[in-house]
């Protein structure tokens, strides 16, 4: 198989003005194609994030450009050796790629396959994951032999349609149903003094997320990882908001967190919401979600939407979201394919072209 497209590796820390000019032009084109109604992240926020050293993940970035115009962009990431969770995630590579809408069906997407295999062979990754929400992408991934392992959706809540009386009732029912449970709320950042306690408890809850058939490792959060995340939020000016319920023995039984960015004043993003399995059935999830909705509605009067991502199999959370008024905005899938199967497919393509 031959093609005339030459992928070039990009080092964001040394990339010059010409790269950033064509990258941002491509990024705006893709944003207009996939999320035309949403605010776009400012160039500075994107550049600062890409240039900052990541102590916990390895990032691979490549472009295909011609005549000063970016035609395709490909990124991959994996857990850094020695980072928390490495032992159960070391075989996994996660990727994302796209092709300029005016240059599709010319073999550009196919040109990324040797790059993926080279990265996998160099670092002994055995499975690659690719997230997709566009029809052209689904078709391409099925064509190369990848399988959809996890299906989810971005769901959005229009705040003008929320029944705030119901939200207040959920809060009151939560308090009455768990009178010995302490309710905690934090704006901006979590206190550093609580991270040693918080990190293992949020890790435990994150690992209860349903992943369907997706090959995945353990999710591990540490105080250092959370502080790195906060540092990145500081760079972009984002504010975090956390609410949690804590039982008399000190165990955090439920958590919800949301994030506001000044460059996206109309949309507030939901992060994680979870309740420990042994604390479910008491209305803690509804209590947390409703209290957060009321708080942020008052704090950000210009916000019009809450947005969240949910696995299609996460029935308890989907039920709460549906009662709040969340509606499906877009659907996507996480595909995976093994290194050996991808290599075999490349051999097939070499014989066909």
CA distances from 158 to 212, 256, 269, 321 (A): 28, 19, 13, 12
- Does the pLDDT value for residue 70 go beyond 80? yes
Confidence of residue 350 (pLDDT cuts 50, 70, 90): confident
Residue 314: the pLDDT is: 87
Q: What is the pLDDT of residues 269-307, one digit of tens each?
A: 999 999 999 999 999 999 999 999 999 999 999 999 999
Query: CA 107 → CA 1, 149, 342, distances in Å?
Result: 10, 25, 16
pLDDT band at 1 (very low <50, low <70, confident <90, very high): very low
Query: CA nearest 202: which of 115, 273, 134, 284?
Result: 273
In terms of domains, do 71 and 164 share one? no
Clarify whether residues 60 and 186 are in a common domain.
no
Work out the number of other CB atoms within 10 angstroms of the CB of residue 161: 9
Q: What pLDDT does 87 receive? A: 98
Q: Judging by beta carbons within 10 Å of its beta carbon (0-12, 13-18, 19+), is residue 129 exposed, middle or buried?
A: buried
Query: Looking at the structure, do residues 102 and 198 belong to the same domain, yes or no?
Result: no
> What number is the average pLDDT over the span 232-260?
97
- CB burial class (10 A; 0-12, 13-18, 19+) of residue 105? exposed
- State the pLDDT at residue 71: 97
The whole-number pLDDT of residue 3 equals 55
Do 83 and 77 form a contact (C-beta atoms < 8 A)? no
Please write down the HEC assignment for all residues of the chain. CCCCCCCEECCCCCCCHHHHHHHHHHHHHHHHHHCCCCCCCCHHHHHHHHHCCCCCEEEEEEEEEECCEEEEEEEEEEECCCCCCHHHHCCEEEEEEEECHHHCCCCCHHHHHHHHHHHHHHHCCCEEEEEECCHHHHHHHHHHCCEEEEEEEEEEEEHHHCCHHHHHHHHHHHHHHCCCCEEEEEEECCCHHHHHHHHHHHHHHHCCCCCCCCCCCCCCCCHHHHHHHHHHHHHHCCEEEEEEEECCCCCEEEEEEEEECCCCCCEEEEEEEEECHHHCCCCHHHHHHHHHHHHHHHHCCCCCEEEEEEECCCHHHHHHHHHHCCEEEEEEEEEEEEHHHHHHHHHHHHHHC
**Residue length, the chain?**
353
Give pLDDT, residue 151.
Answer: 94
- Please indicate, yes or no, if residue 351 is contained in any of the structural domains: no
Same-domain check for residues 247 and 322 = yes
What does the pLDDT read at residue 315? 87
Residue 268 belongs to a domain with what CATH number?
3.40.630.30
Per the structure, the complete domain to which residue 71 belongs is given by 8-125
Residues 195 and 64 both lie in one domain: no
The span from the CA of 123 to the CA of 132, in Å, is: 24
Cβ(293)–Cβ(270) below 8 Å: no
Same domain (yes/no): 235, 189: yes
pLDDT computed for residue 340 by the predictor: 97
The answer to whether residue 133 sits within a structural domain is: no
128-142: pLDDT as tens digits? 999 999 999 999 999
Q: Residues 6 or more apart from 347 whose CB is under 8 A from it?
A: none
Q: Is residue 52 part of a domain?
A: yes
Rounded Cα gap, residues 309 and 324, in angstroms: 15
Does 2 score more than 50 pLDDT? no
pLDDT of 352 reads: 63
For residue 87, the number of C-alpha atoms closer than 13 Å in the C-beta half-sphere is 2
120 shares its domain with 205: no
Mean pLDDT value across residues 187-193: 97
Q: What is the mean pLDDT of residues 229-234?
A: 97
Q: What's the whole-number mean pLDDT along residues 86-99?
A: 97
Asked whether the predicted pLDDT for residue 75 surpasses 50, the reply is yes
The pLDDT score that the predictor gives to residue 181 is 98
Give the residue-averaged pLDDT of 91-108: 94
8 Å CB contact between 203 and 84? no
Clarify whether residues 166 and 310 are in a common domain. yes
Q: What is the pLDDT of residue 65?
A: 96
**pLDDT category, 158, cuts 50, 70, 90?**
very high
* Structure confidence by residue, pLDDT tens digits, 300-337: 999 999 999 998 888 888 999 999 999 999 999 999 99
The reply to whether 91 and 237 lie within a common domain is no
Q: What is the pLDDT of residue 353?
A: 54
Domain presence at residue 136: no
One domain, residues 193 and 118 = no
CA atoms within a 13 Å half-sphere pointing along the CA-CB vector of 66: 10
Mean pLDDT of the chain, nearest integer: 95
Torsion of Cα atoms, 144 then 126 then 132 then 22, to 10°: -90
Looking at the domain assignment, is residue 37 inside a domain?
yes
């Amino acid at each position: 198989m031959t093609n005339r497209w030459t992928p070039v590796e990009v080092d964001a820390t040394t990339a010059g003005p010409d790269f950033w000019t064509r990258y941002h032009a491509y990024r705006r084109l893709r944003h207009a194609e996939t999320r035309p109604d949403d605010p776009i992240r400012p160039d500075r926020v994107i550049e600062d994030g890409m240039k900052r050293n990541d102590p916990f993940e390895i990032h691979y970035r490549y472009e295909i450009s011609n005549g000063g115009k970016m035609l395709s962009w490909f990124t991959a990431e994996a857990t850094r050796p020695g980072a928390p969770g490495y032992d159960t995630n070391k075989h996994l590579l996660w990727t994302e790629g796209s092709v300029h809408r005016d240059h599709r069906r010319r073999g550009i997407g196919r040109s990324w396959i040797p790059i993926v295999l080279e990265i996998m062979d160099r670092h002994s990754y055995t499975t690659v994951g690719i997230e997709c929400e566009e029809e052209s992408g689904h078709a391409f991934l099925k064509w190369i032999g990848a399988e959809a392992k996890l299906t989810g959706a971005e769901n959005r809540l229009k705040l003008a349609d929320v029944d705030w009386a119901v939200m207040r009732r959920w809060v009151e029912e939560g308090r009455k149903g768990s009178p010995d449970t302490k309710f905690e709320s934090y704006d901006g950042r979590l206190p550093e003094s609580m991270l040693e306690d918080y990190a293992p408890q949020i890790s435990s809850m994150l690992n209860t997320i349903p992943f369907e058939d997706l090959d995945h490792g353990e999710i591990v959060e540490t105080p250092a990882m959370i502080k790195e995340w906060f540092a990145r939020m500081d760079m972009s000016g984002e504010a975090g908001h956390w609410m949690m319920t804590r039982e008399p023995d000190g165990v955090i039984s439920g958590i919800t967190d949301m994030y506001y960015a000044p460059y996206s004043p109309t949309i507030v993003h939901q992060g994680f919401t979870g309740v420990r399995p042994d604390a479910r059935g008491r209305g803690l999830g509804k209590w947390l979600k409703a209290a957060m909705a009321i708080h942020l509605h008052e704090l950000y009067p210009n916000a019009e939407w809450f947005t969240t991502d949910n696995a299609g199999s996460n029935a308890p959370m989907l039920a709460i979201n549906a009662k709040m008024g969340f509606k499906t905005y877009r659907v996507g899938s996480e595909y995976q394919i093994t290194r050996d199967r991808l290599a075999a497919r490349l051999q097939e393509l070499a014989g066909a072209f």
